[in-house]
Structure 1
Amino acid sequence: MLGLICIDVDGTLVGSGGVIPEVVWRAAEDARERGVHLALCSGRPALAKARAYAQRLDPHGWHVFQNGASIVHVGTGESLSAAFPEDALHRQIQQARATGRLLEVYSDTDMAVEQDVPRARAHADLLGLPFQLRPLDSLPGTVVRTQWVIPIEETDALLAEPHEGLTLHPAGSPVMPDTMFVSVTRAGVDKGSAVRRVAEKLGVAMERVMMVGDGHNDVLAMQVVGHPVAMGNADAEARAAARYTVGHVDDGGLAEAIELAFTL
């Protein structure tokens, strides 16, 4: 049996209706009772809905947020997070203000957005946060990540722009199918590096770790674990990185992945 299961949120834990099937929560509880560690491994921040998901998966464990930029113990609040480069943050804020492109700035526990547009409000609702305007350069604490929230057809143009010293993690959500979330972290910080840190903290060898995901930003984590699993709704890149494929998120495919872990 495996020692750690890492679980993406959008398209893996949460389906197109924003709902998590009860069969998934039952499988997660069964895994905990058998001594398997469960860690959220999401692009979302450690706030609101995502934090609640992590606490329900394992209230006394380490979880990965913000595509690896935030590694947080939800029981103690301890953080292993990586700071975002200050010069890159300044450049991105200037770019957002010059182009009108929607940018969000995050710390471990807070966020800033300064555009009151429908896409920003829809994302706040997806995260489970009240919509609040705040200047991008006024966020207290250590900034760990930025995120472009753009129409999906603008993705290729954004990815083609120079981002020296940074890593980009494009990901979608079935709840906002017309939107691409391009998360930006310090170079070398990603879900893969974060999963390694969590496994090390727990004393679990990477060969005994499973990563379940559905998108591009899950691939680096899938590549470093012993047991990569793609959801039935996964994109081609995630499917290619997987050793196993389970059912669609809306059919409780994650429960199937957790049950698979008991046999490995």
Structure 2
Amino acid sequence: MIELICVDVDGTLVGSSGDVASEVWPAVERAREAGARLVICSGRPAFGLTRDLAERLDPQGWHVFQNGASIVHLPTGRSRSGHIPDDTVRMLVARARETGRILELYTDTQYAVDSTDDRARRHAGLLGVPFTPRPFGELRGAIVRAQWVVPLAEEAAVLVEPHDGLVLTPSTSPVMPDTAFISLTAPGLDKAGAVRVVADEYGIPLERVMMVGDGTNDLEAMRVVGFPVAMGNAAAEVRAAARHHVGHVDRGGLVEALQYAATL
């Protein structure tokens, strides 16, 4: 029996339109009625549109945000998140000034970006929050994650730059196909570790956990669960790591995955 279903957002729950297909929600309800807990497992932060999606999946549960750097219990606000050291944050801010790249800094509950570039504006819309550039120094609380937001053509160059003390995790969104989102977290903080934390909180063994995803940032989580499922639009390496394959996000793939969970 599948007791825990972890669901990526972009390319899995949210399609190229930027919305969740209407047929997904009845399938979610059926999975919950069958006894499964559902968990957001996303690179997105725990506010704006993504928090709304987490509330709809399970308003009383734990959810994974920011590629595993942010692990939040929605009803209480309890956090099991990690953080980036202050000197590393200062290094990133200095590099952003030197290169002119868009840098975003995140806590569990808010973020700051000081760029007025249209790409930063569009990303705020994707997150479902107002676009309000502000100095990084105004952000209060531990920085759990940073992120470069760059043209897709620049992704490879950024990934080979030295980022001492950080793990780089690239991802994309079908809503902004021209953009690479390169998540920066402290070592040991990833979706795999976060899924382990949530499963432990619920007392559910990993062999009874399903991870449904499409991007390379889902790979580690897919490798530690009993039932890794790849969307039809998934990257080749994600498909290779999966135990089961379903359709494209825009053609009911997640509904197929939830139905598959009910048969196990």
* Fold similarity call, TM over 0.5: yes
For normalisation by structure 2, the TM-score amounts to 0.99
Q: Does 1:215 align with 2:215?
A: yes
2:71: which partner in 1? 71
Unaligned runs of 5+ in 1: none
Aligned partner letter, 2:243: R
Q: How does 1:34-113 map to 2 (within 5 A)?
A: 34-113=34-113
Tell me which amino acid in the other structure corresponds to 1:66: Q
8 Å CA contact 1:104–1:113 kept in 2: the answer is: yes
Q: Secondary structure at the match of 1:238?
A: helix
Question: Whole-Å Cα distance in 1 between the matches of residues 41 and 258 of structure 2?
Answer: 15
Q: Distance in 2 between matches of 1:76 and 1:29?
A: 23
Read off the aligned partner of 1:24 and give its amino acid letter: V
Give the gaps of 5 or more residues in structure 2: none
**Normalising by the residue count of structure 1, what TM-score does the alignment of the two structures yield?**
0.99
Q: Aligned residues, how many?
A: 264
Residues 1-264 of structure 1 aligned to structure 2 (within 5 Å)? 1-264=1-264
CA displacement at 1:236 relative to structure 2? 0.8
Alpha-carbon deviation of 1:26? 0.7
> CA offset at residue 253 of structure 1?
0.5
Quote the Cα distance in structure 1 between the aligned partners of 2:85 and 2:153.
28
- 225-234 or 134-143, which moves further after superposition? 134-143
Shift of 1:138: 2.6
Greater CA drift, 152-161 or 136-145? 136-145
Taking the aligned partners of 1:209 and 1:165, their CA distance within structure 2 comes to 30
> In structure 1, what is the Cα distance between the partners aligned to 2:84 and 2:155?
22
Separation of aligned partners in 2, 1:145 and 1:19: 25
**Cα distance in 2, alignment partners of residues 73 and 27 from structure 1:** 23
Q: How big is the shift at 1:22?
A: 1.5
Q: Deviations over 1:174-211 (max 9, x none)?
A: 00000000011101100000000000000000000000
| CA drift at 1:161 | 0.7
Give the deviation of 1:88 after TM superposition. 1.1
Q: Is contact 1:12-1:249 (8 Å) kept?
A: yes
Distance 1:164 1:243 in 2: 34
CA-to-aligned-CA distance 1:78-102 (integer Å, 9 cap, x gap): 1111011212111000000111010
The answer on whether the counterparts of 1:93 and 1:137 sit within 8 Å (CA) in structure 2 is no
Q: Distance in 2 between matches of 1:221 and 1:19?
A: 24
1:226 is aligned with what amino acid?
G
**Rounded Cα–Cα distance in structure 1 between residues aligned with 2:263 and 2:163:** 42
Aligned-pair Cα RMSD in Å: 0.7
The 3-state SS of whatever aligns with 2:23 is: helix
Q: Encode CA deviations 1:196-250: one digit per residue, 9 max, x unaligned.
A: 0000000000000000000110001001100000000001121111111101000
1:124-146: per-residue Cα shift (whole Å, max 9, x none)?
00001000111123310111000
* Cα offsets for 1:22-61 (capped at 9, x unmatched): 2111111111111100000000000110000000000100
Question: Structure 1 vs Structure 2: percent identity of aligned residues?
Answer: 60
Give me the whole-angstrom Cα distance separating, in 2, the residues matched to 1:76 and 1:40: 17
Q: Distance in 2 between matches of 1:226 and 1:168?
A: 25
Contact 1:191 1:218 in 2 (8 A): yes
Deviation at 1:165, TM superposition (A): 1.6
- Cα pair 1:171 1:216 within 8 Å, conserved: yes
Q: Which amino acid aligns with 2:154?
A: E
In 2, the alpha carbon distance for the partners of 1:193 and 1:167 equals 13
